Chain A
Amino acid sequence: MEAAARAPPAPQGQHPPQLAEAVAPPKVERLNQVVQQQLNLESVKTRALGLYKAISRILEDFDAFARANTTPKWQDALGQFSMVSMELFNIVEDIKNVSKAFVVHPRNVNAENATILPVMLSSKLLPEMEAEDNTKREQLLYGISGLPVHMQIEKLKARIDMIGAACEAAEKVISDCRKAYGLGSRQGSTLVPTLDKVQAAKIQEQENLLRAAVNFGEGLRIPVDQRQLPASLPSHLVDVLTVGDGAQTFGDSSGSYTKNTPPFSSNNVNTQGILQTPGGQLIARSVPSPSSAASFDNASTPPMPYVNSPRSSTNITNTPSPQQQVQQQQQQQQQQRQKVMQLPQHQQQLLVQQQLRQSSSTGVLGQGTISQLHDLPGQTQQKFQQIPGQHQMSYSQPMLQQQFQNRQLQASHMQHNMTQNQINQVNLRSHLNQYSGANSALYNAAQTSPNSQMITNMSASMQSQSLLPRMQFGLTGGHPQRNHPSQILNDQMFGMGASNPASMVAIQQQQQGGFGNIPSNTQNLQPGMVNLPSTTQNPSFPQQRQQNQQ
């Protein structure tokens, strides 16, 4: 005989485990664990309890409706009913299984079960069940308990008949309405449908696809060559992505910086000669003739002539003499330059980036005409901090440090910053031109944009491989005197001279490639503007730049 209890036929599943314990008081019997798991008694119990709660909740709702005398929402109510009925149906199914397991099946009476058997087989109800039964009986026989038995029986029969008739009538009405309104008949799942293997396999395959897609992104990756931003972005991405960024942000596994940047050939562009032509025009797209390239080396022509240039005179700012600052900076820069040159490539870029970040952004140029890179000057401007007093120029560009320092010291941040930035860019470019195109893009960006724009450019160029040099020409409205394209190109050219004349050509080529949208490629070379070949020349350069800007 199985050590199990007889399950009551009640639809509530919580009795079987309780009965087992109640019937065998001397020893606490627990159902076999396996049996429990197989029949999932816990779940049945939980579900039964849940169902009970759901039903009671529905009843409460209806109670409230009745009291408030409002019409319940039949749709919802029916939905809940259907859910409850479905749950009930399933529980009953499970209970049938449970019941099967718990039928008492005595095969042999022996000493072990002699005492238990009569208890198990008795039909006497549990005390609480018995009490329940009694109360229900009293309710039922409320009105007729005083009558003789046969009359009670008759009255009860009459009641049953009435109820039966009412049920049938209701059923008839419902089915008539169903037919009238075209509703299907209620379906009971008498058969458990099975899937045939083919269908199951298909569904399995689909499921794997879906799970892989949602969890790991399988099947959703667009090949890199197809990853171009569409012409019209969805509205939530329009502000987030601009056309310029798109090309940069998608990386393949290689993640190479130089993927899309044009090769940065080190060309010696001697812009000195061009720059030195008063009023000469340097067209960005044209490759300057590499004549007398030596001027870009450190010991090149001093920028002194610029001080007296007609343009410079109009651009004099209230800055203190930069020469003093420059001398200090030059020493530091030279030391740093050597240090930096030994750094690996990307670290140098990072350094540049850091430096640029540290520059204040009060005078950010707002207008960029860069073809691909498209930063948001407005957004980036606020992000940058003022240059700390002890700005550490990790990059060895000669001008950077002094420019930054100048920036701090001088009141006219705007113009000065622009000057500094340009010089910085020039210096950066000159030093790093031997690296790949990404770097050049970075430097171009650095050179053309002061502060915040430089930073955004730098960051963009750092992370993207398809940087085209950014030229940021825009001065905000307050500097009308500045001829942006020419100034910037001039700056770049000046910067080239710092250390590597070869870089100029490369930069210019890149400029040509990337600056397709530069409105005017012609440059109005400032009279007397020369390269910034060495630190010695730097002193006057900021001065000149400022002057030019004004």
Chain B
Amino acid sequence: MECVVQGIIETQHVEALEILLQGLCGVPKERIRVHELCLKSGPSLAVPSEIRLLCDLAQPTPSWTVRHVGGAMRGAGAEQISVLVRTMVESKVSNNALRFFYSLGYKLDHELLKIGFAFRFQRGAPITVTVTSANKMPKLHATDEAVPVTPGIQMVEITAPTAGDNYNEVGAAVSSFCEYLAPLLHLSKPGVSTGIVPTAAAAAASLLSNTGDDPSL
């Protein structure tokens, strides 16, 4: 299971967000370049299912991960908590996975290329913050020709793994971390629209002002 929140930020403020995250997390950032293939089960399987195959292209050797995201927790408890808690199973796989799933009857539904960076750190729970731009490929599997779906806006996602019994604490840890990002962006459960934050420009400016590049040097 995982707790997840999502938000958006304008691309012009991504650099400021990176500085903020660098200060908050204290860990170096990791580059992200993931080719995500979303497969949906074919008619031969009784229960429709969807899995995502993620190919990490940031490393010299691509590594594949299979990921299944389940339904979100529902109920009164879920509404009170400010993060989304959902089942998620993830595993490393070999590059045969795609072929394997095809032979099982899965079909490619859509694919996505995510480019950005991520921070993984511990703050009450192991939290991962990813800031990525979602890119679509005009032609099948053409990762070199990917163009952003929304050039001006990037997606920020904060996830933290959780078990069935401690999701409250993990959710609280994630929410409290989100408070730190309040000047720049607003985070909410996936599916809930947030809009951008009016203070983002000013906050970004103040974050960038002291660390701006020196053109004369």
Cβ–Cβ < 8 Å partners of A195 in chain B: 196, 198
Contact of B216 among A182, A213, A346 (CB under 8 A): A182
Given the interface pairs A79-B22, A229-B140, A459-B103, the reply to whether A210 lies near B206 with Cβ below 8 Å is no
Interface string of B148-172 (1 = CB under 8 A from A): 0110111100000000000000000
Q: Does B5 sit within 8 A of A, measured CB to CB?
A: no
**Are B206 and A86 interface neighbours, CB within 8 A?**
yes
CA distance A235 to B57 in the complex (A): 10
**Are B183 and A86 interface neighbours, CB within 8 A?**
yes
CA distance A210 to B176 in the complex (A): 25
Contact of B23 among A79, A181, A236, A346 (CB under 8 A): A79
Q: Does A478 sit within 8 A of B, measured CB to CB?
A: no
Q: Does B143 sit within 8 A of A, measured CB to CB?
A: yes
Residues 286-324 (chain A) with a chain B CB within 8 angstroms: none
Residues 174-217 (chain B) with a chain A CB within 8 angstroms: 176, 179-180, 182-183, 190-191, 193-196, 198-199, 201-203, 205-207, 209-212, 214-217
CA distance A180 to B215 in the complex (A): 11
**Are B191 and A250 interface neighbours, CB within 8 A?**
no
CA distance A90 to B199 in the complex (A): 10
- Of the listed stretches A98-106, A133-141, A186-194, A385-393, chain B binds A186-194
Q: Does A481 sit within 8 A of B, measured CB to CB?
A: no
**Are A90 and B183 interface neighbours, CB within 8 A?**
yes
Size category of the binding interface on chain B:
35 or more
CA distance A246 to B154 in the complex (A): 31
Cβ–Cβ < 8 Å partners of B35 in chain A: 234, 236
Cβ–Cβ < 8 Å partners of A52 in chain B: none
Q: Which residue on chain B has the smallest CB distance to residue A254? A: B43
CA distance A154 to B203 in the complex (A): 42
CA distance A207 to B107 in the complex (A): 28
CA distance A339 to B194 in the complex (A): 61
Interface string of A370-383 (1 = CB under 8 A from B): 00000000010000
CB of B74 to closest CB in A, whole Å: 17
Contact of B110 among A76, A209, A220 (CB under 8 A): A220
**Are A183 and B199 interface neighbours, CB within 8 A?**
no
**Are B180 and A50 interface neighbours, CB within 8 A?**
yes
Contact of A217 among B38, B99, B152 (CB under 8 A): B38
**Are A222 and B140 interface neighbours, CB within 8 A?**
yes
- Of the listed stretches A198-206, A410-418, A439-447, chain B binds A198-206
Contact of A181 among B176, B194, B216 (CB under 8 A): B216
CB of A168 to closest CB in B, whole Å: 20
Cβ–Cβ < 8 Å partners of A346 in chain B: 44
Residues 62-85 (chain A) with a chain B CB within 8 angstroms: 75-76, 78-85
Given the interface pairs A90-B183, A210-B134, A214-B155, the reply to whether A181 lies near B43 with Cβ below 8 Å is no
CB of A376 to closest CB in B, whole Å: 8
Size category of the binding interface on chain A:
35 or more
CB of A45 to closest CB in B, whole Å: 11
Cβ–Cβ < 8 Å partners of B209 in chain A: 82, 183-184, 186-187
Cβ–Cβ < 8 Å partners of A90 in chain B: 182-183
Q: Does A211 sit within 8 A of B, measured CB to CB?
A: yes
CB of A324 to closest CB in B, whole Å: 37
Cβ–Cβ < 8 Å partners of B176 in chain A: 43, 46
**Are A237 and B141 interface neighbours, CB within 8 A?**
yes
Residues 213-234 (chain A) with a chain B CB within 8 angstroms: 213-215, 217, 219-222, 226-230, 233-234
Residues 77-100 (chain B) with a chain A CB within 8 angstroms: 95-96, 98-99
Contact of B210 among A50, A81, A230, A240 (CB under 8 A): A81
Given the interface pairs A187-B206, A207-B195, A217-B112, the reply to whether A230 lies near B153 with Cβ below 8 Å is no
**Are A255 and B212 interface neighbours, CB within 8 A?**
no
**Are B23 and A209 interface neighbours, CB within 8 A?**
no
Q: Does A112 sit within 8 A of B, measured CB to CB?
A: no
**Are B199 and A189 interface neighbours, CB within 8 A?**
yes
Q: Does B1 sit within 8 A of A, measured CB to CB?
A: no
CA distance A246 to B6 in the complex (A): 34
**Are A193 and B110 interface neighbours, CB within 8 A?**
no
**Are B201 and A193 interface neighbours, CB within 8 A?**
yes
Cβ–Cβ < 8 Å partners of A188 in chain B: 206
CA distance A239 to B103 in the complex (A): 16
Given the interface pairs A195-B198, A206-B150, the reply to whether A249 lies near B102 with Cβ below 8 Å is yes
Q: Does A41 sit within 8 A of B, measured CB to CB?
A: no
CB of B169 to closest CB in A, whole Å: 14
Q: Does B62 sit within 8 A of A, measured CB to CB?
A: yes
CB of A38 to closest CB in B, whole Å: 16
Q: Does B118 sit within 8 A of A, measured CB to CB?
A: no
- Chosen A-B contacts, 16 in total, with CB atoms closer than 8 Å, are A46-B179, A80-B23, A81-B210, A187-B205, A193-B198, A194-B198, A195-B198, A207-B8, A207-B195, A213-B149, A214-B155, A220-B112, A222-B140, A229-B140, A249-B108, A255-B44
Given A86-B183, A236-B35, A463-B105, 9 more pairs with CB closer than 8 A: A80-B23, A181-B217, A184-B212, A209-B150, A213-B134, A236-B62, A237-B98, A248-B102, A250-B108
Task: State the 3 A-B residue pairs at the shortest beta-carbon distance, nearest first.
Answer: A189-B202, A251-B107, A217-B110
